Amino acid sequence: MVDLSVTIGNVRFKNPIILASGTCGFGRELEQYIDFCSVGALSSKGLTLRPRQGNDGCRVAETPSGMLNSVGLQNPGVRYFVENDLQFMASLPTGVIVNVAGHSTEDYVEAVRFLEPHREFIDAIELNLSCPNVKEGCMVIGASPEALFQLVSLVRKETTLPLWVKLTPNVTDISLTALAAQRAGADAVVAINTLLGMAIDVKTRRPILNNNTGGLSGPCIKPVALRMVEACASVLDIPVIGCGGISTGEDVLAFMIAGASAVQIGTSTLIHPSACETITEEVVALAEDLNISSISEIVGTLNLWR
What is the nearest approach in angstroms of ligand FMN to the Cβ of residue 16?
14
By CB under 8 A, residue 198 contacts another protein: no
What is the nearest approach in angstroms of ligand FMN to the Cβ of residue 138?
9
Task: List own/partner pairs for 12-16 with CB under 8 A and 24 or more apart.
Answer: 13/40, 13/41, 13/95, 13/123, 13/262, 14/40, 14/94, 15/39, 15/40, 15/280, 15/283, 15/295, 16/40, 16/252, 16/256, 16/260, 16/261, 16/262, 16/263, 16/283, 16/295, 16/296
Side-chain-side CA neighbours of 189 within 13 Å: the count stands at 37
By CB under 6 A, residue 98 contacts ligand FMN: no
Pairing of strands 60-63, 66-69: antiparallel
Pairing of strands 60-63, 17-19: unpaired
What is the nearest approach in angstroms of another protein to the Cβ of residue 129?
20
Residue positions annotated with a catalytic role:
131
Which of the listed partners (ligand FMN, another protein, none) does 24 bind, with a CB threshold of 5 to 8 Å by partner kind? another protein
Question: For residue 87, how many other CB atoms are within 10 A of its CB?
Answer: 11
Q: Is 166 exposed, middle or buried (0-12, 13-18, 19+ CB in 10 A)?
A: buried
Residues 173-212 that bind ligand FMN (CB under 6 A): 193-194
Choose, by CB under 6 A, the member of 41, 61, 71, 178 that binds ligand FMN.
71
By CB under 8 A, residue 71 contacts another protein: yes
x/- site string to another protein, residues 99 to 138, per CB under 8 A?
----------------------------------------
Choose, by CB under 6 A, the member of 42, 78, 221, 228 that binds ligand FMN.
221
Residue count at the site for ligand FMN (CB under 6 A)? 26
Q: Name the one range near another protein by CB under 8 A: 45-53, 97-105, 222-230, 288-296.
A: 45-53
By CB under 8 A, residue 65 contacts another protein: yes
Q: What type of residue sits at position 27?
A: G
By CB under 6 A, residue 40 contacts ligand FMN: no
Closest CA to 111 of 137, 143, 144: 137
Q: Name the one range near ligand FMN by CB under 6 A: 10-18, 109-117, 215-223, 273-281.
A: 215-223
What is the nearest approach in angstroms of another protein to the Cβ of residue 86?
17
Q: Name the one range near another protein by CB under 8 A: 30-38, 189-197, 198-206, 293-301.
A: 30-38
Choose, by CB under 6 A, the member of 17, 20, 89, 171 that binds ligand FMN.
20
**CA–CA gap between residue 20 and residue 41 (Å, rounded):** 9
What is the nearest approach in angstroms of ligand FMN to the Cβ of residue 167?
10
Burial 267-292 (b: 16+ CB within 10 A, else e): bbbbeebebbbbbbebbbebbeeeeb
- Which residues contact ligand FMN (rule: CB under 6 A)? 20-23, 45-46, 69, 71, 73, 99, 128, 131, 166, 193-194, 217-218, 221, 243-246, 265-268
